């Protein structure tokens, strides 16, 4: 098969959407290895086989949302695959419909879901927590002995300038603006799949149309919908987004700030730390992709990340006979480790400003610091099948039980709080840390 002709392909994507000048425009390759591997596959596959694969990929997406006849055939096919490959069945029909509405019209769903008074109450507490975590990170950078002063200065600047979006956009309850957000969408009660394709096409075109714009990351732009149960760091905007979906139990509103800092606090720290992990550190305080650390500091950083790679490589999953890939999961592992440490320091700052909290009724044998670690552990409670564990090991995140144990083993604060004996399982002498 001939090599893919990238230039016409890229130009066809932007046809009638935006004007490109590929002689001047730079194309950022997010994963060069993937493209090289794909080129090798293209070189050794028949064109007809590739076309069949592409159509099967299309069927895989549209079949669950099409006619009853095709859905039944697809379900039968999946049942046969399940028996052969030990894969898990998809969602029920009702859950598929609910998920589709939430994914494609998340802002409209959020209008029904979120508390209009959030920005006057809870958002202020979350913002204070995030500021405490930013201060905690700054204190770690100042004490770092492997960064030169010029790199420390620009790192602290990036931390200071990192913006945040919390909960949901303030325009959400303005009906005119909400309707404008879905401008061009013309839904039909009889065209379910057509509705989905229409919305995706509009979103796609609107996204690509902004390729030459520099100010799209303003207060009105949201990277994700408020219903999302996750948090994000956006490197090219130097921004953290914390949707309303994750600002609830079991991550938030746990009664004590010690618990909140252990749960959502460690997640906020995780996202902030992404701005300085192996990928995030390539973007400066304005979100520009450039080298803004000195070569000496970059070299020292890489040396220290090797400890994390080697540490996570030791975790073995006997159920599927596979080790964790410490290099593939490096960025997420760094964010996990640094994020928890930031949360611990940030909670101490909160106590300095607000005073000691009462103990947790029924658990008065635990200190507030111990409760923080218990809340952190609770975040990673899990139940998985063999199939889902296989899927997890192809992800850039380590499995939840590894994210818990590995981070705590690297935490000297954890060992001190729980009085773990030296060289015990949870308190090895060799610990990995950056800041």
Query: Which residues form the catalytic set?
Result: 271, 336
Residue with tokens 């069927």: 59
What is residue 326's DSSP assignment? T
236: tokens are 């090219």
As a whole number of angstroms, the distance between CA 251 and CA 254 comes to 7
Q: Other C-beta atoms within 10 Å of 28: how many?
A: 6
Classify residue 154 by burial, with Cβ atoms within 10 Å: 0-12, 13-18, 19+.
middle
SS (H, E, C) 7-25: HHHHHHHCCCCCCCCCCCC
For residues 389 and 318, the answer to whether their CB atoms sit within 8 Å is: no
User: Sheet of 163-167: strands edge to edge?
Assistant: 163-167, 239-243, 232-234
Kindly give the pairing relationship between strand 322-323 and strand 316-317: antiparallel
381 by DSSP, 3-state: which?
coil
For residues 247 and 56, the answer to whether their CB atoms sit within 8 Å is: no
Q: Other C-beta atoms within 10 Å of 362: how many?
A: 7
Residue with tokens 């914390």: 242
As a whole number of angstroms, the distance between CA 61 and CA 56 comes to 9
| H or E element in which residue 90 lies | none
Sign of CA dihedral 305, 311, 317, 321: positive
Kindly give the pairing relationship between strand 239-243 and strand 316-317: unpaired
């Amino acid at each position: 098969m001939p090599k893919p002709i990238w230039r016409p392909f890229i130009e066809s994507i932007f046809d009638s959407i935006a004007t490109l000048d590929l002689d001047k425009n730079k194309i950022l390759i997010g994963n060069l290895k993937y493209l090289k591997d794909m080129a090798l596959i293209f070189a050794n596959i028949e064109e007809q086989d590739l076309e069949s694969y592409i159509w099967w990929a299309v069927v895989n997406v549209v079949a669950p949302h099409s006619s009853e006849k095709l859905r039944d055939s697809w379900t039968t096919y999946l049942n046969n695959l399940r028996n052969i490959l030990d894969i898990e069945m998809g969602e029920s029909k009702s859950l598929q419909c609910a998920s589709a509405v939430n994914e494609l019209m998340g802002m409209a769903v959020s209008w029904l879901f979120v508390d209009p008074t959030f920005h006057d109450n809870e958002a202020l507490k979350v913002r204070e927590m995030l500021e405490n975590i930013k201060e905690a990170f700054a204190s770690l950078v100042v004490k770092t002995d492997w960064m030169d002063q010029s790199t420390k200065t620009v790192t602290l600047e990036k931390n200071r300038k990192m913006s945040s979006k919390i909960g949901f956009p303030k325009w959400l309850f303005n009906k005119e603006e909400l309707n404008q957000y879905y401008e061009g969408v013309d839904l039909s009660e009889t065209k379910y799949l057509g509705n989905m394709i229409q919305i995706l096409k509009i979103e796609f075109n609107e996204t690509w149309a902004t390729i030459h714009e520099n100010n799209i990351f303003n207060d009105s732009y949201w990277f994700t919908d408020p219903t999302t149960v996750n948090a994000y760091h956006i490197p090219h905007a130097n921004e953290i987004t914390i949707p309303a979906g994750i600002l609830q139990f079991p991550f938030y509103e746990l009664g004590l700030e010690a618990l909140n800092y252990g749960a959502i606090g460690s997640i906020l720290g995780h996202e902030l730390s992404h701005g300085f992990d192996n990928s995030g550190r390539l973007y400066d305080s304005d979100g520009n992709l450039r080298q803004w650390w000195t070569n000496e500091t970059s070299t020292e950083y890489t040396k220290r990340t090797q400890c994390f790679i080697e540490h996570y490589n030791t975790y073995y999953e006997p159920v599927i006979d596979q080790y964790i890939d410490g290099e593939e999961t490096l960025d997420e592992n760094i964010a996990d480790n640094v994020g928890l440490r930031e949360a611990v320091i940030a909670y101490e700052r909160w106590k300095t400003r607000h005073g000691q909290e009462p103990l947790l009724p029924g658990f008065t044998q635990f200190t507030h610091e111990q409760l923080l670690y218990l809340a952190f552990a609770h975040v990673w409670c899990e139940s998985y099948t063999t199939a889902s564990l296989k899927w997890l090991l192809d992800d850039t995140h380590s499995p939840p039980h590894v994210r818990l144990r590995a981070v705590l083993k690297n935490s000297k604060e954890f060992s001190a709080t729980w009085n773990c004996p030296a060289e015990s399982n949870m308190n090895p002498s060799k610990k990995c840390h950056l800041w």
